[in-house]
């Protein structure tokens, strides 16, 4: 019997869209929300929070990972990142790296209602990860 949790992509997408509604994005006006299922069965969310000093802006995925850890969960099982209209947004390169550490290469990322989810390994091939560090440890 499979122990795999069923992923309710539509519910995850709706949660991400709700989070996008709370984004603080006066500079780009791109309101982004992220939602993920965790290994505990909980759903964590995040939204982008911009800053007048543009480089300090936080992506939605940053808030998501912070919510993951602060809520006591450790692993992301599935992630949806959308804009306010509910359409999926390709996670930026930095956030692909961030998601990798907490979800692993097989983490499925929502492709929207008309597309299959795509794995992080496909979104971030040849990624730098913890094995690169341990391999170089003296």
> Is 61 tagged catalytic?
yes
Site string for ligand THU, 63-102 (x = CB under 6 A): ------------------x---------xx--x-------
Nearer to ligand THU, 49 or 121 (CB): 49
Burial class (CB in 10 A: 0-12, 13-18, 19+), 137: exposed
- 119 lies in the binding site for ligand THU (CB under 6 A): no
Residue of 4, 8, 50, 61 marked catalytic: 61
* Closest by CA position to 119, among listed 76, 57, 86: 76
Q: For ligand THU, which stretch binds (CB under 6 A), given 6-14, 25-33, 70-78, 129-137?
A: 25-33
- Among the listed residues 5, 28, 71, 129, the single contact to ligand THU using CB under 6 A: 28
Residues marked active site are found at 61
Return residues touching ligand THU (CB under 6 A).
25, 28, 30, 32, 48, 50, 57, 59-61, 81, 91-92, 95
């Amino acid at each position: 019997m499979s122990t795999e949790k069923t992923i309710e992509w539509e519910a995850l997408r709706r949660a991400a869209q709700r989070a996008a509604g709370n984004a603080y994005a006066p500079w780009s006006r791109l309101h982004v929300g992220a939602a993920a299922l965790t290994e505990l069965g909980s759903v964590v969310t995040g939204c982008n929070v911009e800053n007048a000093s543009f480089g300090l802006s936080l992506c939605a995925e940053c808030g998501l990972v912070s919510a993951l850890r602060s809520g006591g969960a450790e692993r992301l099982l599935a992630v949806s990142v959308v804009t306010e209209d509910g359409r999926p947004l390709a996670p930026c390169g930095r956030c692909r790296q961030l998601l990798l550490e907490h979800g692993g290469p097989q983490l499925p990322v929502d492709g929207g209602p008309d597309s299959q989810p795509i794995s992080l390994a496909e979104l971030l091939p040849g990624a730098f990860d913890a094995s690169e560090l341990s391999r170089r440890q003296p």
